[in-house]
Amino acid sequence: MAHPKRRQSNTRTAKRRTCPNCGAWHVYHTVCGECGYYRGKLAVVKEAAAE
């Protein structure tokens, strides 16, 4: 049975967990909280932050 020869670094793991659209960290299989994208498509329209 296959197993990894080397431990994957924390940086590579963190990169994999980021949103490809905006680069923010997000939970798998959920809409990104920063940009509202899911699997490359806009799922939730985010309103502009009121400053």
Alpha-carbon distances of 33 from 2, 7, 9, 43, 45, rounded to whole Å: 35, 29, 25, 11, 11
End-to-end CA distance of the chain: 55
2-48 per-position pLDDT tens digit: 898 999 999 998 898 899 888 899 888 999 988 899 988 898 887 76
Quick one: tokens of 33? 């909280």
Confidence (pTM):
0.63
Q: Write down the pLDDT at residue 7.
A: 92
Alpha-carbon dihedral angle through residues 5, 24, 35, 29, given to the nearest 10 degrees: 30
